[in-house]
Amino acid sequence: MSRIDACMAAAKAAGRKALIPYIVAGDPDHDTTVSLMHQLVRDGADIIELGMPFSDPSSDGAVIQLGGERALRNGAGLDTVFSVVRQFRAQDAQTPVVLMGYLNPVEIMGYEAFVGNAAEAGVDGLLLVDLPVSEAEGLLALTRPRNMDVIFLVAPTTTDRRIAAICEHSSGYLYYVSLKGVTGAAISDTGEIGRRVAGLRQQTELPIMVGFGIKDNASALAMAAVSDGVIVGSALVQKIGELSDTDSRSDDLLADKTALIASIRQALDSGSA
Amino acid sequence: MSDSEAVTAPEQDLFSGPDLAGHFGRYGGIFVGETLMAAVEELDQVYRKLSQDPKFWQEYDHDMKHYVGRPSPLYLAERLTAKYGGAKIILKREDLNHTGAHKINNTIGQALLAKFMGKPRIIAETGAGQHGVASATVAARLGLECHVYMGAEDVKRQAANVYRMKLLGANVIPVTSGSRTLKDALNEALRDWATNVDSTYYIIGTVAGPHPYPMLVRDFQAIIGREARAQSLEEYGKLPDALVACVGGGSNAIGLFHPFLRDAEVAMYGVEAGGDGVETGRHAAPLSAGKPGVLHGNRTYVMSDERGQIVETHSVSAGLDYPGVGPEHSWLKDIKRVNYVSVTDTEALNAFRELTRLEGIIPALESAHAIAYACKLAATMSPEQSIVVNLSGRGDKDIHTVADIDGITI
């Protein structure tokens, strides 16, 4: 059982919805990212998705693009990502960390080095947005023996045939994309999402998380009602973008920037916004 | 089985790509976000079916003849040939097509696909604006809504083409993310497609993107090579000894090369944009100086830094200013069927001026790269030999760029 499996099982046993915040590694800088990760755990995050910055993030909306650009301007790369995770792990051996990003930096580093470095740093799962299941065999052959989870997306457009293949190769959790579009867009039809997630339940035992477009307590509650939990990215990265270069990185200030996560945690646990 | 069949069989395998999943050797494939997978697979199914239908190609051929003005001539550039004193330099005149470049061959074909699929809205990305104009043109003709993504830098550099697109009824959207050039326009078009996937057909302008685009754009551009092959046999009684074409994404080059791939005696040269010189790092030559990676939906040679971030490219020619290249070119490089070379901005500008003065033809700066290399190559060959150069576009769009370099305000 992986650390992600254990985490999701514990949430389920306790009757609580899982909460996964997403931030970009190196946004605005290496040390602040580590501090933000600890703060997110204090806010009630179950798992942390850590974005690997990329110059050409074609599945992301403007907010996460800008987060990536801030990180890249400060020289962030995969080395930064691994270093952030290593430092986080030194104080937190429990909270699973999932790396999310695009394939080219992995191709350039090499799959073996990438998976090896990730495992050594303490990464639990990988989500590569532009790597569909049909092209993922090489990666899966490296992650399986290390018990590292690979998470795939299911979109509103995903066909039944593809869902079967995705369920077969996924582990950890399934990431259901709430909308047709990019990260940070607006959710339009919650009823349809409920029907789709219910359909997925027929095909997999994996926990199903919903992400894209969750920006406040109300949208989080609506999505959590039909799933095992929610992923919150753009709304959080937007707040982190407000940190100026000259701000001190006090715990209070960082807690202010991640207040949305604490608020959603409370809403999910109490069942009301 | 005869001996000759036994010998040619393995060779045919090398050139009959892609496989069903879109691979040319290790290159190509489908690398897009899950939201787009269904659309890409649907397009593949539709194209596989239609491309077997003779009526589809009859309609395409009809448009090529009556709307585009094909076949485009082969023209022997006698004064240019005389100057270099070697092989005959013969131009494939894609610059004479409607809208002034080879791009229309592809947009006509993809517009037929959009029409068949019942998509009322098309989107496109453009660098220099040639593909944007060719897309806006077919959209106007079919009454389709058209949105063209163009880097904000390119919108400034190519004001005349922006206005042409607007005259044709297209909505030109300046892209301000990233480096504000062609690669960012592609990212933004992919985002639009994911958002409006039900109503929208994405006309990619080159042999890049996820499968099936590299295959279908090649098939629509291969009319260049089929014509050139037949014209060579008819007018000169033999195949050319060499082919030369510029390579940005690589659609005009693959269009010329593909029908000749099995003619082992025909040498091929793909000319990348050397910018200030490949050794300076300021260029747009992924096949000459890049590494295999994944960009915009396919695995191919890309220009990225040691962290895997895509780097900014440089070329005097906006249409070659792209950090990736079509995956079939990556394959043809690795198996050494095509030689990939580069020429600098300065060499291309010299060729631009020389063709204009010696032959009365103003070439696109993209095509001027091919001309520059062909002249160097011709000088090393004998007068009995011949080179067909793809003159992929006309240079009217570039006169402001050249005038700027000359310090002249038009």
pLDDT in tens, A103-130: 999 999 999 999 999 999 999 999 999 9
CA distance B368 to B371: 5
How many other CB atoms are found less than 10 A from the CB of residue A105?
Answer: 26
Q: What is the average pLDDT across B23-49?
A: 97
With 0-12 / 13-18 / 19 or more C-beta atoms within 10 angstroms meaning exposed / middle / buried, residue A226 is middle
CA distance A180 to A187: 9
ipTM over 0.90: yes
Tell me the pTM: 0.96
How many other CB atoms are found less than 10 A from the CB of residue B11?
Answer: 13
Q: What is the average pLDDT across B5-16?
A: 58
State the fold for domain A3-150+229-270: TIM Barrel (3.20.20)
- The per-residue pLDDT for B12 is 52
Closest C-alpha among B44, B62, B73 to residue B108: B62
Query: Which of these is catalytic: B288, B330, B367, B392?
Result: B392
CA distance B258 to chain A (A): 26
Say which range, A31-40, A186-195, B276-285, B339-348, has the weakest mean pLDDT: A186-195
B21 touches chain A (CB under 8 A): yes
- The per-residue pLDDT for B6 is 41
Window B:273-312, CB contacts with A under 8 Å: 291-297, 299, 302, 304, 306-310
pLDDT digits (tens, 9 = 90+) for B351-375: 999 999 999 999 999 999 999 999 9
Adjacent-strand bridge partners of A100: A51, A127
Closest C-alpha among B244, B218, B247, B388 to residue B317: B247
Domain ranges of chain A: 3-150+229-270
CA distance B296 to A29: 28
Contact of B222 with B230, CB cutoff 8 Å: no
B121 touches chain A (CB under 8 A): no
What stretches of A66-123 adopt beta strand conformation (E)? 97-101
Instruction: Say yes or no to pLDDT of A245 above 80.
Output: no
Given an 8 Å threshold on Cβ–Cβ distance, is A181 in contact with B35? yes
A193 touches chain B (CB under 8 A): no
Closest C-alpha among B285, B247, B289, B248 to residue B268: B247
Instruction: Say yes or no to pLDDT of B5 above 70.
Output: no
Q: Which two tokens stand for residue B305?
A: 């830094």
Please give the C-alpha separations between residue B106 and each of A155, B225, B231, in angstroms, as whole numbers. Answer: 30, 14, 21
CA distance A210 to B361: 58
pLDDT digits (tens, 9 = 90+) for B247-270: 999 999 999 999 999 999 999 999
With 0-12 / 13-18 / 19 or more C-beta atoms within 10 angstroms meaning exposed / middle / buried, residue A244 is exposed
Rounded to the nearest integer, the mean pLDDT of chain A is: 96
pLDDT digits (tens, 9 = 90+) for B161-198: 999 999 999 999 999 988 888 999 999 999 999 999 99
CA distance A83 to A80: 5
